[in-house]
Amino acid sequence: MRALLVVAHGSRRPESNDEVRRLTDELRAVAGADYQRVECAFLELAEPSIPEGIDCCVAGGASEVVILPYFLSAGRHVVKDIPDIVADSRIQHPAVALRIAPYLGRATALVDSLLELSKN
């Protein structure tokens, strides 16, 4: 079973964290064919944490978890913090494939999204 874990920074503003949760709900609604489970987690300032999010997917039966950084640029969080946390989780779950996908800022379709937005 494959799971998708959207990882956001987390914010002191509950509304920002709720935006991520809503996006995760939308993703869940369309990702059924690819991922049997779609969850979100936060690097800091909100819950669940990334290890908790991974644990939740594994407890739900995931043999593969794709971790998707919801970040616009390849700062320290994307380059070091998230990989370090995932490396720790790999030790906890040696039988589960934990893969980090490219961060959102790398999506080629962003250009189309921006152009569409500009017309709203």
Q: Using CB under 8 A, pick the residue from 75, 87, 88, 90 that binds a second copy.
A: 75
CB of 73 to a second copy, least distance (A): 4
Binding to a second copy by residue 49, rule CB under 8 A? no
Reference 67, options 20, 5, 2; nearest CA is 5
Q: Which is nearer to a second copy, 91 or 108 (CB)?
A: 108
Residues 6+ apart with CB under 8 A from 16: none
Q: Using CB under 8 A, pick the residue from 80, 87, 88, 113 that binds a second copy.
A: 113
Site for a second copy in 5-34 (CB under 8 A): 6, 8, 11, 13, 15-16, 19-20, 23, 26-27, 30-31, 34
Q: Which two tokens stand for residue 120?
A: 């709203």
Residue labelled with tokens 């700062």: 75
CB of 36 to a second copy, least distance (A): 13
H or E segment and range at residue 100 = strand 97-100
| DSSP, res 106 | G
